[in-house]
Amino acid sequence: MRFDGKKIVYIDMDHVLCDYEAGFNAHQTKYPELAFPQSQPGLYIGLAPMPGAVDAFKWLSAQPELEVFILTSPSEMNPHCYSEKRQWVEQHLGMAAVNRLIISPHKDLNRGDYLIDDNVAGKGQDHFEGELIHFGSEQYPDWRSVVAYFQ
């Protein structure tokens, strides 16, 4: 798939660009009485970037042969996640990245060459037409390994 002659790369947010696990654990400590602490405002906007994620996103975005987008699934039961994910992208990746943010629970509906995601199924990853780069796997354990693949 080409976008103005470039290969399309989608990057997931949770557990890939941002450290959802640490944020969730902190929110669970803050709201121990809630079954779903992620439903409280502040979780998504407060997530820390994964090590190397910001630099890797900027490097990938600067490659002339690539067109990079953020493709993240929402927490459908948490309306805060939509706006907080957008705010997170602006805060950590800049306004230009906001224009490349796609929030969808159906990742297979997006056409592209690569999907960098920590899950291989559940939100359409297993039906994505391009190559799935399984972030956090043995082959791609971190951003350094992902960048090395694209070099």
Q: Return the active site residues.
A: 12, 14
Q: Provide the pairing of β-strand 6-11 with 2-3.
A: antiparallel
Is residue 50 a contact partner of residue 19, using CB atoms and an 8 Å limit? Answer: yes
Map residue 82 onto helix, strand or coil. Answer: helix
What is the Cα–Cα distance from 25 to 133, expressed in whole angstroms? 26
> Is the Cβ–Cβ distance between 98 and 131 less than 8 Å?
no
User: Could you give the CA distance from residue 101 to residue 108 in angstroms, rounded to a whole number?
Assistant: 16
